[in-house]
């Protein structure tokens, strides 16, 4: 609340102003006459010489006018905005309380200074005590989505590293704080590092580089303007750190300036932002990356903290390029010749004639070797022919030429090596992740053995990275920690780490389903070579996991969660995962207990609030459901699921206008959420807004054309409005997607026969 200013009446203190009786006022009638007419001077009248303003004083006045006055106004406005509580904190870590204990936690609004608030990303929730105990070792992990453990933060390499360290040093409390989030790059991580340095760190670990081109201020970004001058970038970031800068940004947004996306659409947002390997803007990216890494290491050095930089691995063998471009000067004749050779190569490759296919591809490469898909096909042919060195060379070339640059290229990793290599005397250490993945991959070419898709590591990949980092970390931990290492304890195996972290068969299925449906089946993955084969293979694997998960397996999985929680009762992630597991089995009461345990440890966990609200709504407690979801969006204002839950609860209470508003808000933040469209359309239809309802469904089908429920509901509305032919088309479209739907078959049959 703004403090009200008291109105003070202006009073002149008595006795302060006194006119002398012995002297005349300097401006009397005679003087006025003298000035105006130039005559009638009195003998006693003194002439005051007119002072000339010197050039020096004039310039001093000008300097004051253009500096001191604007700065003063700026300062006053900034103070007023702060007093009014305007804006948001730009710190990555902010104060909080957990059961009356002073703590620090992640700031869910930190990334607003780099992204539009509607699409802002965040770290997974974390909390650590403000007062660091003597037996605590505090380690910060920084990077983007791969460092965060995407698609499941519970099994990131930092989590596995924590289990390894606790096993070797049972008397030490290892706080591993993963301050990593999707879509960010070194410009953002530098800011995070500065904030982490304020909290008594013992070690920094940096796994960073995949988003240098597509992240904020990169050559292929959609989030911010491309700025080649690093000083201007940092000035822009600094301005977002003050309230006046935030006000100006918001006003610019209201005026519609800028073309940054306001809806999160994942990797497909970048399809129009292709960057060639020889694009001159990449040199700016590399230069900025190097400087940012150097400054991150400087931050660590000033805070007397050791730092480990890791090179960044990627899937070479099983992740084809996302997009390819021909060399820009290719003539029409050359293009036709290239196309003929490329098509013949594909025919040979499809017939498993890899020798002749490789020959055709090589001839095409002589005309245009810039096309990334061509290089990948060559790599596959050499792989099948057993020429693994040639295969690796071509797979690397395919990654380097990929014009959607979501993978760290050779230059990025070389910069990491140069910044970190051979600098142990400065407290800078190095883990060559790329080399480690190569050494543990078939024929030295990393693929799906360690990666879910292009860069995100599976459990085996995260274990391998954690093991490499562990071996480096134990050498550089503070002496106060080292002396507590337990004797004769072997390093935990991958299976043992899985048990400690409750990585169950159910989790394997959940992650496989998410990777297939939320990554591989979405653009730009749909542009990749051999995509249909990949989808078919992953669907078979998913089905095999499903068949394996019997009631007995689920029972063992539940026991595994309980054992893990008993071993580490302060691990929020274990309660979270157990809650999801119980929720999937419709054990609502048990799931609610786990989510409440999460909130006891991490009171700002907005997803836990939304989960609890949903469960309570299912139990009929709609008022509590609304309260919990309102709390979720108070913490994280762009949380689409919470808006949907609010809409659903209000819908059940027949508060239709409010429900429609919440559904619309959910769609704003998540445009491909089919159920929100379905429910919004039902409300509009219920309110006799037929045209609006059908418009809602048609809009939904433009983004989710493969949703049978949308086709079905639109068909019913069209039928009820007498638009029989259009209704039949929608019912048939629904059946093409879901041929086993008895309900749609009946609707179609009744409509064809003229029955409603």
pLDDT at 572 over 80: yes
Q: Which tokens belong to 116? A: 């539009």
* pLDDT tops 80 at residue 24: no
Residue percentage of the chain with pLDDT more than 70: 91
More reliable by pLDDT, 278 or 39: 278
Rounded to whole angstroms, the Cα distance separating 38 from 742 reads 109
- Given a cut of 50, whether residue 10 has pLDDT beyond it is no
Q: What is the mean pLDDT of residues 170-182?
A: 97
Can you tell me the distance from the alpha carbon of 226 to that of 281, in angstroms, rounded to the nearest whole number? 9
Percent of the chain at pLDDT above 90?
81
Residues 6 or more apart in contact with residue 392 via CB below 8 angstroms:
316, 379, 443, 444, 445
Which residue bears the tokens 């595994």?
Answer: 560
Burial (Cβ within 10 Å: 0-12, 13-18, ≥19) of residue 611: buried
> Is residue 257 scored above 80 in pLDDT?
no
Structure tokens at 366: 């002589």
Mean pLDDT of all residues in the chain? Answer: 91
Given this model, what pLDDT does residue 258 score?
58
pLDDT at 697: 96
Q: What does residue 138 show for φ and ψ, rounded to 5 degrees? A: -105, 120
Name 174's bridge partners. 137
Q: Can you give the length of the chain in residues?
A: 756
CA distance 465 to 434: 10
Give the CA radius of gyration of the chain. Answer: 33
Query: How far apart, in whole angstroms, are the C-alpha atoms of residue 684 and residue 703?
Result: 20
SS3 for 354? helix
Q: How far apart are CA 402 and CA 544, in angstroms?
A: 33
Mean per-residue pLDDT, 698-719? 94
Please give the pLDDT value at position 20: 35
d(CA 673, CA 700): 8
For residue 728, pLDDT over 80 is answered with: yes
Chain centroid to CA 597: 26
Query: Greater confidence, 732 or 65?
Result: 732
pLDDT above 80 for 47: no
Is the pLDDT assigned to residue 18 strictly greater than 60?
A: no
Q: Which two tokens stand for residue 221?
A: 């970004």
Give residue 78's pLDDT: 66
**CB-based contacts of 623, cutoff 8 Å, min separation 6:** none
Distance CA 429, CA 426 (A): 9
pLDDT at 653: 96
Predicted pLDDT at 224? 86
Burial track 272-299 (b if 16+ CB lie within 10 A, e otherwise): ebbbbbebeebebbbebbbbbbebbbeb
Q: Could you report the per-residue pLDDT of 477-519, keeping only the tens digit for each?
A: 999 999 999 888 899 999 999 999 999 999 999 999 999 999 9
- What is the set of domains in the chain, with CATH numbers? 93-317+408-503 (3.40.50.1110), 332-401 (1.25.40.10), 554-604 (no CATH)
Q: What is the pLDDT of residue 39?
A: 40
For residues 296 and 204, what is the distance between their CA atoms, to the nearest angstrom? 10
Q: What is residue 424's predicted lDDT score, i.e. its pLDDT?
A: 92
Q: Which of 7-21, 168-182, 221-235 has the highest mean pLDDT?
A: 168-182
What pLDDT does 5 receive?
38
Contact criterion met (CB below 8 Å) for 306 and 204: yes
**pLDDT for 135:** 95
Is residue 563 scored above 70 in pLDDT?
yes
CA distances to 86, 88, 386, 460, 660 from 443, rounded to whole Å, are 57, 51, 10, 18, 57
Q: What is the pLDDT of residues 225-250, one digit of tens each?
A: 888 999 999 999 998 888 887 888 77
Q: What's the average model confidence in pLDDT over 672-690? A: 94
Work out the average pLDDT over 95-115. 96
pLDDT band at 251; cut points 50, 70, 90:
confident
> 76-90, 397-411, 525-539, 610-624: which has the minimum mean pLDDT?
76-90
Q: How far apart are CA 657 and CA 673, in angstroms?
A: 19
Read off the tokens for 138.
């505090």
Token pair, residue 689, equals 């807004």
Confidence of residue 85 (pLDDT cuts 50, 70, 90): confident
Residue 537 structure tokens: 């293979």
Label residue 35 by pLDDT band (50, 70, 90): very low
Non-local CB neighbours of 267 within 8 Å, separated by 6+ positions? 322, 404, 406, 522, 523, 524, 525
Between residues 10 and 62, the one the model is more confident about: 62
End-to-end CA distance of the chain: 59
In three-state secondary structure terms, 155 is: helix
DSSP string, 234-273: HHHHHHHTSHHHHHHHHHHHHTT-----SS--GGGGGTT-
More confident residue, 85 or 293: 293
Q: 84 pLDDT exceeds 60?
A: yes
C-alpha pair distances (Å), 546 with each of 292, 448, 502, 553, 667: 45, 20, 18, 11, 31
pLDDT of residue 254: 52
| pLDDT at 51 exceeding the cut of 70 | no
- The number of C-alpha atoms within 13 Å of 254 and in the hemisphere containing its C-beta is 6
Instruction: Check pLDDT > 70 for residue 12.
Output: no
pLDDT surpassing 90 at residue 348? yes
Position 83 scores a pLDDT of 81
Whether the per-residue pLDDT at 57 is higher than 90: the answer is no
Region of 707 please: left (phi>0), alpha (psi -120 to 50) or beta.
beta
The mean pLDDT value for 157-184 works out to 97
């Amino acid at each position: 609340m703004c403090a009200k200013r008291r109105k003070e009446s202006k009073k002149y203190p008595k006795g302060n102003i006194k006119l002398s009786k012995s002297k005349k006022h300097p401006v009397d009638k005679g003087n006025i006459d003298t000035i105006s007419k130039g005559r009638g001077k009195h003998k006693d009248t003194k002439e005051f010489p007119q002072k000339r303003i010197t050039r020096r004083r004039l310039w001093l006045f000008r300097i004051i006018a253009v500096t001191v006055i604007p700065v003063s106004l700026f300062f006053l406005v900034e103070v007023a905005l702060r007093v009014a509580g305007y804006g948001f904190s730009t710190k990555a870590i902010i104060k909080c309380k957990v059961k009356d204990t002073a703590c620090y936690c992640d700031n869910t609004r930190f990334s607003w200074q780099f992204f539009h608030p509607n699409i802002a990303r965040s770290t997974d929730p974390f909390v650590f005590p403000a007062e660091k105990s003597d037996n605590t070792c505090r380690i910060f992990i920084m990077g983007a989505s791969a460092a965060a453990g995407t698609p499941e933060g519970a099994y990131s390499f930092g989590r596995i590293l924590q289990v390894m360290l606790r096993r070797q040093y049972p008397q030490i409390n290892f706080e591993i704080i993963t301050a990593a989030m999707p879509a960010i790059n070194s410009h953002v991580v530098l800011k995070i590092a500065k904030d982490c340095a304020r909290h008594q760190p013992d070690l920094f670990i940096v796994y960073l580089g995949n988003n240098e081109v597509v992240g904020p201020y990169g050559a292929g970004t959609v989030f911010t303007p491309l700025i080649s001058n690093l000083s201007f970038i940092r000035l822009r970031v600094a301005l977002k750190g003050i309230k006046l800068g935030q006000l100006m940004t918001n006003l610019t947004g209201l005026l519609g300036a800028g073309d940054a996306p306001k809806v999160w659409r994942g990797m497909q947002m970048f399809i129009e932002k292709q960057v060639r390997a020889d694009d001159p803007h990449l040199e700016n990216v590399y230069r900025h990356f190097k400087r940012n890494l150097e400054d991150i290491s400087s931050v660590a050095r000033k805070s007397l903290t050791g730092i480990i930089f890791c090179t960044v691995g990627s899937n070479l063998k099983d992740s084809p390029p996302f997009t390819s471009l021909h060399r820009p000067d290719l003539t029409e004749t050359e293009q036709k010749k290239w196309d003929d050779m490329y098509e013949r190569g594909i025919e040979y490759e499809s017939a498993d004639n890899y020798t002749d296919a490789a020959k055709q591809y090589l001839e095409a490469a002589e005309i245009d070797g810039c096309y990334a898909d061509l290089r990948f096909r060559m790599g596959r042919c050499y792989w099948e022919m057993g020429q693994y060195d040639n295969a690796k060379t071509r797979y690397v070339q395919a990654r380097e030429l990929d014009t959607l640059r979501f993978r760290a290229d050779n230059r990025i990793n070389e910069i990491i090596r140069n910044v970190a290599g051979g600098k142990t005397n400065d407290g800078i250490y190095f883990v060559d992740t790329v080399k480690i993945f190569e050494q543990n991959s078939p024929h030295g070419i990393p693929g799906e053995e360690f990666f879910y898709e292009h860069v995100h590591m599976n459990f085996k990949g995260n274990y391998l990275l954690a093991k490499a980092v562990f071996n480096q970390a134990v050498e550089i931990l503070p002496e106060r920690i080292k002396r507590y290492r337990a004797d004769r304890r072997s390093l935990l195996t991958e299976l043992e780490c899985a048990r400690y972290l409750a990585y169950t068969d159910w989790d394997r299925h959940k992650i496989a389903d998410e990777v297939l449906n939320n990554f591989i089946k979405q653009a730009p993955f749909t542009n990749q070579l051999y995509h249909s084969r990949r989808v078919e293979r992953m669907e078979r694997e998913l089905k095999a996991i499903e068949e394996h998960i019997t009631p007995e397996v689920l029972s063992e999985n539940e026991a595994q969660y309980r054992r893990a929680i008993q071993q580490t009762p302060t691990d929020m992630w274990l309660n979270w995962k157990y809650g999801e597991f119980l929720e999937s089995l419709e054990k609502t009461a048990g799931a609610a207990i786990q989510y409440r345990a999460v909130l006891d440890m991490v009171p700002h966990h907005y997803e836990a609030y939304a989960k609890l609200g949903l469960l309570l709504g299912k139990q009929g407690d709609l008022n509590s459901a609304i309260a919990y979801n309102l709390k979720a969006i108070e913490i994280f204002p762009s949380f689409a699921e919470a808006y949907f839950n609010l809409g659903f609860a209000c819908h059940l209470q027949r508060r239709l206008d409010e429900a429609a508003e919440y559904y619309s808000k959910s769609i704003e933040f998540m445009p491909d959420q089919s159920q929100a469209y379905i429910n919004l359309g039902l409300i509009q239809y219920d309110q006799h807004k037929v045209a609006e309802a059908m418009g809602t469904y048609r809009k939904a089908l433009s983004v989710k054309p493969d949703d049978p429920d949308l086709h079905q509901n639109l068909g019913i509305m069209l039928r009820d409005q007498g638009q029989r032919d259009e209704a039949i088309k929608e019912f048939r479209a629904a059946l093409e997607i879901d041929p086993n739907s008895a309900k749609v078959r009946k609707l179609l049959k009744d409509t064809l026969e003229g029955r409603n």
